[in-house]
Amino acid sequence: MMLLNLTRKPSSNGCTFGILIVDGQNPVYTLERPEVQIPTGTYSVEMTWSPRFNRPLPLLDGVPNRTDIRIHAGNWPRDTDGCILVGLGLGQGMITQSMLALDPLITQIQQALDAHDDVTISIS
């Protein structure tokens, strides 16, 4: 089983930053908009095609009253409608190097799924 653990920091300036750790390693920064952030809890993750981004992306299953909640690239709060953005660095009200964080994460998740492992994300 693969566990993604997202620990959020208090929101400020229209951003909720966090740290996402995969199986205790490879931390990346996250950014969410506070007014539409995903409720705390544990969700299963699958890899499905995103028509919006025209590529496979991680999809969180079972987010209450929400659909199509994904982990994807983006730098600013305006780049998300309620999904989790990932990046390697932090800036003023933004994250940086988003694609450099996303692509290895997608590879890790896909490898786990290909091995028939369950993938979950715990948000606290």
Q: Where are the beta strands (DSSP E) in the chain?
A: 2-8, 16-22, 25-32, 41-50, 55-61, 69-72, 84-87, 89-91, 94-96, 119-123
What lies within 8 Å, CB to CB, of 92 at 6+ separation is: none
Q: What is the pLDDT of residue 117?
A: 97
Q: What is the pLDDT of residue 4?
A: 97
Q: What is the pLDDT of residue 47?
A: 97
Q: What is the pLDDT of residue 12?
A: 78
CA atoms of 99 and 86, how far apart (whole Å): 8
Flag whether pLDDT at 111 surpasses 90.
Answer: yes
* Block residue for tokens 């208090």: 10
Q: What is the pLDDT of residue 26?
A: 85
Q: Backbone phi, then psi, for 53, in 5-degree steps?
A: -100, -5
Pairing of strands 69-72, 84-87: parallel
Query: Residue 13 — pLDDT band, cuts 50, 70, 90?
Result: confident
pLDDT tens digits, 56-81: 999 999 999 999 999 999 999 999 99
pLDDT tens digits, 14-54: 899 999 999 888 899 999 999 999 999 999 999 999 999 99
